[in-house]
Structure 1
């Protein structure tokens, strides 16, 4: 028996704890308005993620050590993106990306992994707003307003505001966060066009940092050092694990293309292309950028600037060496535009993650909302206020970086292992793109590697020279909040009991597969879950 659905609305079949499917129809839905290259442009934010932590990595690992580890981290991300193409095709109508795939896989064994993955993933993405808002503020202050140090000394505003950090970089960051929210709230296309413009501008500073050091004679092989100051093999392994844990926040971000699977014109083709091409482009940048910038100054100089001034101050010094003061202004303006791209991507991805996890019953219903412009505006508003608070409380990019990373890496552990689990528990579920068996072994290996990075890296952040256990406790606290909101959703809003293991049979909505993958023939015959 079929159910008619009005034009412009979508019918979703949602399983309940009683095993009975219910049908919900929403007037406002995410619309299919994107092509693969739109997702690719959104992922151009990743070079900005690299730049935000590059100075700290070079100071701690040496330029050669940073280059090797960034390359390893990005190779892991490339493989993960290939693996994520399978679940992205399995749930084409679900916004939210990897946390949704994690929930679908692990709900049979431990339902609380769902909200933990969801909020962990969201935290990793939403923190981009505060990190890059602050980074832009530091670049502006360092280059054009070096004397504007109000609020940064013991006699400044910080002394009177207690734990609140408020200075020029923080103020600039807050203004940018609000501006990016305003652009995204009026629809996905304006946000994507911001991505096109800033993405094009990004190519110029990338070219300068990747290739100009060789043309200008500023690059010297003597600066390519390996783990300076290492005190033994175990210390080096531990330090490498900590940085691979932190680097995942940056390099793994190319999976954002999967978040937009419901919004691509051709879900099958566009999702694949966006994931693969964004990953390969970022791989090239993650090799060339550390190599180019790492040879201009010594690791000790870069580390000192990153620790005592800001994590991007060394870029200003290197630009002055290579191209002089006048052209430095131009390149910095373009670099700032790339950071705004990163903030734009974070708002798009983070808000859809909140919408997707609410849609899947993992957090409060209030976030399951699409406005008249077909964007999750409530999720965007939560992102905005959260990041303003992060700026005011932490006031340091790397502190925010570490605090938001625990749940994000844990989500990748769950999703990679979840792909293997779903092969066993959802055998007959439609897979428009089915990975070859060797990829399942790769998924298991990468899940174990990320778990190792997490266990060693999360409690050892202080050996990098930045932060302490406060960041770890913040990450754990967020997971506790995620569980409490999930309990509230289940017991108060849905009026259902808490189920630790949800073995409700999941039956795919074949009408959706016929809609999203008409060329595949999927959905022409009935299918049930394994």
Structure 2
């Protein structure tokens, strides 16, 4: 029986309220990963080496976004971004890879919340509660006041997202402008006052081949993270146009930021200061440049980090929701609240991040634990571009890249496989963390397969589907967008595509 219009309207669904500018506002917070890792990376590698890694990663991220724009336009109604495209590309070969990609993508973004919250809590304590040094021992981790602020920030980001993506986008726009202006002020002030010196940047003695590769692996969460704009594809007013513009604008902005910010900040305060203050260096920069006004820099950094948490919470929740929609994890997460938001998934995110703040002490350690999943998802997403070109040649592609993108995608896929394998097996070469974090990442991916089997065998009561040869029909939106202006083809008009009964 076909649902009536009123029934469709009453069903909770993702609301199409965003423009590409909202997508940009929600996506550029990837630059906050630079704040979290800059001091640590410079301390091990030297500024120029770290900058070279960020530039290379940003260029690859830009190229990947060109691939993901094609996939987003092919599946405009599917939530979950890159992970959802990985499901579509790999399901006919080995369906659990889709679950691994989605779960890895979700946990990669989800644990980024814990990384950011940890930094935020430490900054607040150091700036305004430096005298409160009491700690409580919990399962081998010393918990202090900074952990309290970190946990509060996690749940504040959850609250903003729970009542609708529009509020989250508005918050990001306002705070994003504040943060960008503050960073520009720091760099300009350093140049005007003559405190910027190129001699403050070096290539660093610790920049071994392995260290460079492992740090590329660690920072990929930030340089590749520009793909976050695709996660909101079903919520853009014009999915095809807005998704493509958001991906392009975010990539361009981040490429500039990953060059300008490290050069400006390191040249102004020096590598030594960055190494000694790997998280609070913005405060030091304001102190030096504006005569003891470090609290302004701290306030800006706190807002910036919380801004990142708002976006990563939104992205992680949608990835988990998309996973449940595809039948690859427990069906209870295939649920939207009355504001059209995956509230249960957002809540799971907040609970897991609270647990990680209580169990893992180092920001870099948390990144190492989560990056295996994230890099696996991105790699499988790039592979999906190649597989879908081969397996669905007649599928409507409102955005279609030229033939040259096939070898480009192949090179990126191979490179990502190498970086992921090397980073996961040589974590200690980063100078922080070790195999414990890599084993946690492997355990997370293994859990995705367990939940995949549970969903199919226990909840759906059907045999495990190792290969899924079924194929959804292209959405009317994708067909219409790919058609010439004078034509409006139906599903039956698409070569090689059979409508699903």
1:434 corresponds to 2:395 = no
C-alpha distance after superposition, 1:125-178 (max 9, x if no partner): 111221111111111122222222111xxxxx22xx332442111100111111
Q: Structure 1 residue runs of 4+, over 6 Å off?
A: 515-519
What is aligned with 1:245? 217
TM-score normalised to structure 1 length: 0.89
Deviation at 1:440, TM superposition (A): 1.7
CA distance in structure 2 between the aligned counterparts of 1:240 and 1:204, rounded to whole angstroms: 31
CA distance in structure 2 between the aligned counterparts of 1:81 and 1:482, rounded to whole angstroms: 26
What is aligned with 1:270? 242
1:291 corresponds to 2:263 = yes
Deviation at 1:515, TM superposition (A): 7.2
Unmatched segments (≥5 aa) in structure 1: 11-25, 152-156, 231-235
SS of equivalent to 1:437? coil
What is aligned with 1:144? 128
Number of residues of Structure 1 aligned to a counterpart in Structure 2: 495
CA distance in structure 2 between the aligned counterparts of 1:462 and 1:447, rounded to whole angstroms: 25
SS of equivalent to 2:254? helix
CA contact (8 A) 2:269 2:285 kept: yes
C-alpha distance after superposition, 1:47-81 (max 9, x if no partner): 11111101111111101111111111111111111
Distance 1:524 1:456, change over 3 A: same
What is aligned with 1:367? 333
CA distance in structure 2 between the aligned counterparts of 1:522 and 1:509, rounded to whole angstroms: 13
Out of 35, 42, 62, the position equivalent to 1:78 is 62
CA distance in structure 1 between the aligned counterparts of 2:11 and 2:258, rounded to whole angstroms: 42
CA distance in structure 2 between the aligned counterparts of 1:345 and 1:428, rounded to whole angstroms: 35
CA distance in structure 1 between the aligned counterparts of 2:215 and 2:384, rounded to whole angstroms: 25
What is aligned with 1:186? 163
Unmatched segments (≥5 aa) in structure 2: none
1:312 corresponds to 2:282 = no
Deviation at 1:296, TM superposition (A): 3.1
CA distance in structure 2 between the aligned counterparts of 1:68 and 1:288, rounded to whole angstroms: 12
Out of 14, 34, 41, the position equivalent to 2:18 is 34
C-alpha distance after superposition, 1:217-253 (max 9, x if no partner): 22222221113245xxxxx221111111111111111
Deviation at 1:514, TM superposition (A): 5.4
1:107 corresponds to 2:91 = yes
Distance 1:163 1:510, change over 3 A: same
TM-score normalised to structure 2 length: 0.94
CA distance in structure 2 between the aligned counterparts of 1:519 and 1:188, rounded to whole angstroms: 33
- How big is the alpha-carbon RMSD for the aligned residues of Structure 1 and Structure 2? 2.0
1:124 corresponds to 2:108 = yes
CA contact (8 A) 1:61 1:228 kept: yes
Distance 1:517 1:93, change over 3 A: farther
Out of 288, 302, 316, the position equivalent to 2:274 is 302
What is aligned with 1:172? 149
Deviation at 1:447, TM superposition (A): 1.0
